[in-house]
Amino acid sequence: MNALVIALNGLKRTLGDRESIFWLFIGPLIFTTFFGILFKARPPAPVTLDIVNHDRTGTIASTVADALRHDGIVISELHEVVRGRTTLVVPNGAGQALAAGTKVTLELHTGEEETRAEGDLRFRITKALIASALGVKPTDPPGPLAVARTDLGTKSRDMTAGFQRSVPSYMVMFVFLNLLVSGAGIAEERRLGLLRRLGIAPVSKREIVTGKLLSRFFLGWIQIAWMLLAGRVFFGIQWAEHGWVLFGFLTLFALACASLGMFFGTLYKDPDKCRGMAIWTAILLAPLGGLWWPIEIVGPTLKRVSHLVPTGWAMEPVNAMLAFGAGAREVAPFALAFAVLFAVTFVLASRRLEMT
């Protein structure tokens, strides 16, 4: 009972603080919105391409232009390259070289930076050239060989774009960050003598430790609930198929983070240093766990690292629950990892917590 009173008091103090309110409710929404918009899947913008033909035969220029027009690209045929416009230059002798199977290099005059749109355009041009070499015209009837989209027979949703990615990522990041930073509260309470005063009250150390843990855990859960709700209401996120599994997993995640935060609080005397280290740790682990960018684009070493850090343990099952409707069995190993993290850090924090 005393533990609960301590927890609720701690919670009340935190929720009365404007900075805490900002980082609990407003900050995550700002990040989520910003990165959700930034990485939102957009319909492809209309592509325009100028073609400058120096080849006497003109066959390559015309077949490539036909194929690209068929792909929806707006083609203009010019006599020279205009600075600032994307232009394909077909060199003299290209038609003969293609027919003879010798080397043909076409130049794509483009912007300063290599972009995805440019890569896509280069791919389409190469495809058009290959079609030209094979004598395949865009208007020819489709051949027997085809590719059809399918799924794995489970309810799967696109996870990588827009809010469907940013909301769960920043939920995990901010819960982790805030609960780690909350450890600085322990250092501050010790420095201000609040813990000493609490120590002489008729409550056991176990009750104090449990109360401190619970207040942080409640805080984590308030933020999780807020992000789940905001994700659904503001961003239309489809949360997990097995709601209770997600609930249970996030509960364990919040508990482990709260305990880790408390452990941080017992490591430092100076609350500023504790806060700095907590921020540094969270900023270090967030990208390593794949919260800032999709883990698919990093090398194999960092992919392996993502399996070893708590942020990765959280993101992998949350993604699996959201994208594939993963259930308790798939989530269990990660839940176990958080249970162990909680047990270890809670024991260490309880032993190390000094009232003075």
Positions 141 through 170 that interact with other proteins (CB under 8 A): 142-154, 156-161
Under rule CB under 8 A, residue 80 binds other proteins: no
Q: Which of residues 38-77 bind other proteins (CB under 8 A)?
A: 38
Cα–Cα distances in angstroms (integers) from residue 284 to residues 9, 212, 272, 294, 340, in the given order = 31, 25, 18, 16, 21
Q: How far apart are CA 94 and CA 296, in angstroms?
A: 38
Q: Which of 46, 200, 202, 301 binds other proteins (CB under 8 A)?
A: 301
Under rule CB under 8 A, residue 302 binds other proteins: yes
Under rule CB under 8 A, residue 117 binds other proteins: no
- Pairing relationship of beta strands 74-78 and 48-53 according to DSSP bridges: parallel
Q: What are the CB-based long-range contacts (under 8 Å, 24+) for 304-310?
A: 309/285, 310/176, 310/256, 310/257, 310/260, 310/285, 310/337, 310/338, 310/341
**Binding mask 18-37 vs other proteins (x if CB under 8 A, - otherwise)?**
xx--xx---x--xx--x---
Q: Which of residues 210-249 bind other proteins (CB under 8 A)?
A: none
Q: Which of 43, 46, 105, 329 binds other proteins (CB under 8 A)?
A: 105
Under rule CB under 8 A, residue 356 binds other proteins: no
* C-beta of residue 157 within 8 angstroms of C-beta of residue 194: no
Q: Which of 4, 15, 117, 133 binds other proteins (CB under 8 A)?
A: 133
Instruction: Dump the DSSP string for 176-205.
Output: HHHHHHTHHHHHHHHHTTHHHHHHHSS--H
Q: Which of 270, 308, 343, 351 binds other proteins (CB under 8 A)?
A: 270
Q: Which of 127, 194, 222, 226 binds other proteins (CB under 8 A)?
A: 127
Q: Which of 75, 99, 267, 344 binds other proteins (CB under 8 A)?
A: 99
Measured from the CB atom, is 199 or 287 closer to other proteins? 287
Question: 91-123 burial, b for 16+ CB within 10 Å, e for fewer?
Answer: eeebbebbeeeeebebeeebeeeeeeeeeebee
Within 13 Å and on the Cβ side, how many CA atoms surround 113? 3
Q: Which of 17, 236, 339, 343 binds other proteins (CB under 8 A)?
A: 17
Of 94-102, 171-179, 198-206, 334-342: span binding other proteins (CB under 8 A): 94-102
Q: Which of residues 306-325 bind other proteins (CB under 8 A)?
A: 316, 319-320, 323-324
Q: Tell me the β-bridge partners of 74.
A: 48
Q: Is 99 helix (H, G, I), strand (E, B) or coil?
A: helix
Shortest spacing between CB 339 and other proteins, in angstroms:
20
Of 4-12, 50-58, 203-211, 276-284: span binding other proteins (CB under 8 A): 276-284
